[in-house]
Amino acid sequence: MTITIIHGQSHKGSTYHVARMLADKVGGEVNEIFLPRDFNSDCAGCTLCFARSEKLCPHRTALEPVTKAIDEADLIILASPVYVFHVTGSMKTLLDHYGYRWMIHRPYEGMFMKQAVCISTAAGGGTRSTCKDMADSLFFWGVARIYRRGFNVSAVSWDGVPAGTKSKIDKSTDRLAKKINRRYGRAVPGLRTRVWFEIMRIIHRKPGWCKADTDYWEAKGWNGKARPWKKSKQAV
């Protein structure tokens, strides 16, 4: 299994350790991306990715290695500590660049067979809203199975996390790793994703929508019987 971890910070705190713990238990080749070290450009809001092509993004060159790592992964782990009840600015900055990949625009078909995990830690609260920030993008990318794990660690460093809390994290990641491995190669989208895909399909069949999007959907055959989670002879 190929695993890509995107860390929402460049230091190795509690969130880092939980993400690595899970990846090591799942097993396989692990690629790690640290933000903002590996990508630090704010979205310019130019709308070129939506209106014309993501290849026109002014940050395309810097973004390409991250996109490649995401696309080649069987498992995506997005990991962010809680910053004022939400993801780090670095994680938000990265996710902003993939708006064009939401189902309403031009989702990458490979996402519909992937699994992903949102991991967050906090000294106090906020892990639920932080995981939601990441899960929203994963869902609208079309990721087949999304898991959320938030841990209130009562510490500002991994060394300071109580032994009992570390034990709970260890057991939780054990269970999740087994679940991920059972679904490896067999992940398919649930009903909610399929319903949203059908709604987007209806929109794309109406006149006047963005041509870059409608051309993409037509080329994939999604306006007909083809679906990204089904193995078929789709145009590429």
pLDDT in tens, 191-203: 999 999 999 999 9
All domains of the chain in start order, with CATH: 2-189 (3.40.50.360)
User: Average pLDDT, stretch 203-221?
Assistant: 90
For the CA atoms of 23, 27, 28, 33, the dihedral, rounded to the nearest 10 degrees, stands at: 10
Q: What does the alpha-carbon distance between residue 52 and residue 48 come to, in Å, rounded to a whole number?
A: 5
Contact 1, 58 (CB under 8 A): no
* Tens digits of residue pLDDT in 103-142: 999 999 999 999 999 999 999 899 999 999 999 999 999 9
* Tens digits of residue pLDDT in 54-66: 999 999 999 999 9
User: Average pLDDT, stretch 95-105?
Assistant: 96
Q: What does the alpha-carbon distance between residue 114 and residue 143 come to, in Å, rounded to a whole number?
A: 6
Q: What does the alpha-carbon distance between residue 100 and residue 49 come to, in Å, rounded to a whole number?
A: 6
Contact 22, 184 (CB under 8 A): no
Q: What pLDDT does residue 232 have?
A: 47
Q: Which H or E run includes 26?
A: helix 14-26
pTM for the structure as a whole? 0.94
